[in-house]
Structure 1
Amino acid sequence: MRQNLERRAALIDAAIEVLAREGARGLTFRAIDAEAGCPIGTASNYFANRDDLFNQVGGRIYERYQPDEATITRNLAGPRTRERLTEVMRTTVENVAAFRSGYLALLELRLEATRRPELREVLTRTIRRDVQANVSHHRDSGLPGDETTVVLLHLALNWLIVERLTLPDVFTEKEIDALVAAAVERALPREPSREPDPTLDLR
Structure 2
Amino acid sequence: MARNPERRNALLDAAIEVLTDEGARGLTFRAVDARAGTPTGTASNYFADRDALLAQTATRVNERMVPDPEHVASLMAAEPSRELIVHLMRDLVRRMTAERSGYLAMLELRLEATRRPALREELNRTVREQYDGNLQFHLASGLPGDADAMRVLYLAMTGLLVEHFTLPEMLSDTPEALDELVAVTVERIFPAA
Runs of 4 or more, structure 1, over 3 Å off, are none
- TM superposition score normalised by structure 2: 0.93
CA distance in 1, matches of 2:69, 2:180: 28
Look up the match of 1:33. Answer: 33
Q: How far 1:69 moved relative to its partner?
A: 2.1
Look up the match of 1:154. Answer: 154
The residue type equivalent to 1:174 in the other structure is: E
Look up the match of 2:139. Answer: 139
1:115 and 2:108 matched: no
Look up the match of 2:165. Answer: 165
The residue type equivalent to 2:183 in the other structure is: A
Residues 30-69 of structure 1: pairs in structure 2 closer than 5 A: 30-69=30-69
Look up the match of 2:78. Answer: 78
SS in 2 for 1:169: helix
Q: How far 1:81 moved relative to its partner?
A: 1.4
Larger Rg: 1
- Asked if the contact 1:85–1:184 (Cα under 8 Å) also holds between the matched residues in 2, the reply is yes
Look up the match of 2:183. Answer: 181
Structure 2: segments with no counterpart, 5+ residues:
none
- Asked if the contact 1:145–1:189 (Cα under 8 Å) also holds between the matched residues in 2, the reply is no
Q: How far 1:132 moved relative to its partner?
A: 0.3
- Asked if the contact 2:82–2:192 (Cα under 8 Å) also holds between the matched residues in 1, the reply is no
SS in 2 for 1:40: coil
- Asked if the contact 1:82–1:144 (Cα under 8 Å) also holds between the matched residues in 2, the reply is yes
Bigger Cα displacement from structure 2, 138-147 vs 152-161: 138-147
CA distance in 1, matches of 2:74, 2:93: 15
Partner deviation per Cα, 1:138-173 (whole Å, 9 max, x = no partner): 122222112222221111111111111111222223
Q: How far 1:56 moved relative to its partner?
A: 0.6
Q: How far 1:3 moved relative to its partner?
A: 6.6
SS in 1 for 2:160: helix
More helix, by proportion: 2
CA distance in 2, matches of 1:56, 1:120: 13
- Asked if the contact 1:19–1:105 (Cα under 8 Å) also holds between the matched residues in 2, the reply is yes
How many residue pairs get matched? 191
CA distance in 2, matches of 1:37, 1:176: 36
- TM superposition score normalised by structure 1: 0.89
The residue type equivalent to 1:129 in the other structure is: E
